[in-house]
Structure 1
Amino acid sequence: MNTEGYSIKDLETLSGIKAHTIRIWEKRYSLLHPERTDTNIRYYTDDDLRHILNVSFLVKGGHKISKVAKWGQDQIKETVLEVSKSKSSENAYIDRLMLSMVNFDNEEFFKILNEIQLRYSLEEMVYTILFSLFKRIGTYWQVGSIFPAQEHFVSHIIRQKIIAEIDKIGLNNKRGQSILFFLPENEMHEISLLFYSYLAHKSGFNVIYLGQFVPFNDLQKLQSHLTIDFVFTAFINSWAKDALENYLVDLKGLFQKQRIFITGWQVDNLNPELPRNVKIVKDYKEFRKFVGA
């Protein structure tokens, strides 16, 4: 739990239920019973958060709050499971994954991912659902509604999924071309990088995957030892626009003959000026076109 508990704004952000509505539900149905700090500030516990997430899920699924509020925890949990089996829209999947994340429910999270994979290809699952999940997680993290361990819990499971799919492909250098994947120093969020490396593996490229937090000096050393045809990196963490543009210029200077692909939230937010050989990747379909897959 957040060490200071959750505010009603946190509950609004995580559940999608307006704070005003939550207060009405408290008064009318005694749905929640917030505690108070020594300075008389209201706060909510982990149990309160789980309860409002379950209630929110059921109300969005068509159940009336007047009925749900009278149910005990066992009936609520059973009904959530029943509704989960019948709800398969993208937003419903994200809601269910968020609920599993908050509860650190390893078994349920894997179960939902496996269910999604029966309906979607890995590419569709990652890009349509999991990237949207991470955007929502990022928003919640910014406002302090979740803590890093919850994000790490999700990232680890999804990372396992993608690596397992890469392992199934094995070495597949039928294209005779190499793509270097890396994240700059201070960049730790590698799910998108790993996903695009999977696409490159699948398309028959020799993938050189360095992962996160790669010093620029290491790129210089590597460039002098290997023949590289493409370079791929991502910018997720906060960057100043001029710092990002300067980094891209340096990268272009190092890889003058290679095409450089970039992606990430900071690229979208800052809209940096791009050197001639740098191309923004908007989605996985566009990436496959770029590399002729």
Structure 2
Amino acid sequence: MNIMIPSNINGMYLIQQVSDMTGLSKQVIRKWEERYNLLQPKRLENGYRVYSDIDINNLLSVKALSRQGHSIKQAVELTKERSIVLDIVPDHLISIQHQETLNAYVFQLLEKGTHCDELELNLILQQAYYSFGLADFLTSVIIPFLNEVGNRWDRKEWSEYQESVSSLIVRDFLVQIRRNFQCREDAPLILGACLPHERHEIPLHILLLQFMMKGWKTILVGASPASGSVESLIGKLKPAKVLLSATTMAPFDNDPNLLKNLDQFALANKQIDFYLGGLGAIEYAKNKTLLAIRVTNSIEETLS
């Protein structure tokens, strides 16, 4: 059964939905509920159990802790202790703590992503966007969802098709937001570019949207651009800032001189601020000395 029940503010989900959202089997969910008293489901009039957002976050917490080496019993105890802390944390710290939990929109995206339901994924993204506003939509929905998608792909819980459908739907949705975003003609320009052989462009979409909210015009050079095309476009457009991105090591494996050449190009264009980010880039550059490119994963640094 895969029927979405109208949610209250805390969420109400059937066990099959919870299984889709967490990647745990229904048998494991029932076992953790009965053996460890981890969950507090309610019952509908027809006898079906329904679970809340809190229940789902607790399941995900135990799952993550168990993968870190804790026994299930230890993971449950740590999760319960964390729940107590969240209950008593002062109001002004709730937003900090909230970053460790997922919300109902992320759960629904995970459920629909499990079934590769493109229409529902788009509808949920649309609802979340209008509910949160762009800034919180990116930080509270898009980033947590993509992180979980990546985790499930890495753990082989999701197939390549499930991962690609979810990622492409998010990418296309962010593209539409950027296309419809209005900027002043005299706004400063920032160019975001994947490095050659880098195919993960979604992080750049997120960064550029965050810049647009600060009044910047943006241009994106998407996945795996041709060698030399980024430098050519920079020379033509003369942006104030350039964000270079590599989530993987592919750009540097394919061209060992790439970073050195880009740094020399940046040095010759000192009027432009160059930044390099992404897990692959940071890992590759950690023992390299760069003259003109700043390596960072901090949006605050690039905005400064």
> Structure 1-normalised TM-score?
0.63
1:279 is matched with 294
1:49 is matched with none
Do the aligned residues in 1 keep the contact of 2:249 with 2:284 (CA within 8 Å)? no
Cα 1:227/1:285, change in 2 over 3 Å: closer
Gaps of 5+ in 1: 1-11, 23-30, 33-51
1:191 is matched with 202
* C-alpha separation in 2, matches of 1:120 and 1:199: 15
Displacement of 1:100 in angstroms is 1.6
CA offset digits 1:260-289 (Å, max 9, x no partner):
12222224545623513222343444433x
Do the aligned residues in 2 keep the contact of 1:53 with 1:99 (CA within 8 Å)? no
Do the aligned residues in 2 keep the contact of 1:117 with 1:125 (CA within 8 Å)? yes
* C-alpha separation in 2, matches of 1:167 and 1:211: 14
Cα 1:275/1:202, change in 2 over 3 Å: same
2:186 is matched with 174
1:264 is matched with 278
Give runs of aligned pairs for residues 130-149 of structure 1, distance below 5 A.
Answer: 130-149=142-161
Give runs of aligned pairs for residues 117-132 of structure 1, distance below 5 A.
Answer: 117-118=129-130, 120-132=132-144
Aligned equivalent of 1:15, options 17, 22, 44: 22
1:227 is matched with 238
Corresponding letter in the other structure for 1:62:
Q
Corresponding letter in the other structure for 1:280:
V
1:41 is matched with none
CA offset digits 1:25-59 (Å, max 9, x no partner):
xxxxxx65xxxxxxxxxxxxxxxxxxx789999x9
Do the aligned residues in 2 keep the contact of 1:262 with 1:279 (CA within 8 Å)? yes
Corresponding letter in the other structure for 1:191:
I
Displacement of 1:126 in angstroms is 1.7
Do the aligned residues in 1 keep the contact of 2:198 with 2:250 (CA within 8 Å)? no
Do the aligned residues in 2 keep the contact of 1:190 with 1:211 (CA within 8 Å)? yes
Identical-residue share of aligned pairs (%): 15
* C-alpha separation in 1, matches of 2:284 and 2:107: 29
> Structure 2-normalised TM-score?
0.61
Aligned equivalent of 1:109, options 94, 101, 121: 121
* C-alpha separation in 1, matches of 2:284 and 2:295: 12
* C-alpha separation in 1, matches of 2:282 and 2:195: 17
CA offset digits 1:51-90 (Å, max 9, x no partner):
x789999x976228xx89xx89xx46xx46xx46999964
Cα 1:281/1:121, change in 2 over 3 Å: farther
Corresponding letter in the other structure for 1:102:
T
Aligned equivalent of 2:212, options 201, 220, 233: 201
Aligned equivalent of 1:91, options 96, 102, 110: 102
* C-alpha separation in 2, matches of 1:84 and 1:99: 13
* C-alpha separation in 2, matches of 1:56 and 1:189: 36
Aligned equivalent of 2:223, options 191, 212, 221: 212
* C-alpha separation in 1, matches of 2:297 and 2:114: 30
1:45 is matched with none
Query: Which secondary structure does the structure 2 equivalent of 1:261 belong to?
Result: strand
Give runs of aligned pairs for residues 26-65 of structure 1, distance below 5 A.
Answer: 62-63=40-41
Displacement of 1:240 in angstroms is 8.9
CA offset digits 1:87-142 (Å, max 9, x no partner):
99642443332122102233443444344335533233223432232222222212
Gaps of 5+ in 2: 1-18, 58-97
Cα 1:259/1:97, change in 2 over 3 Å: same
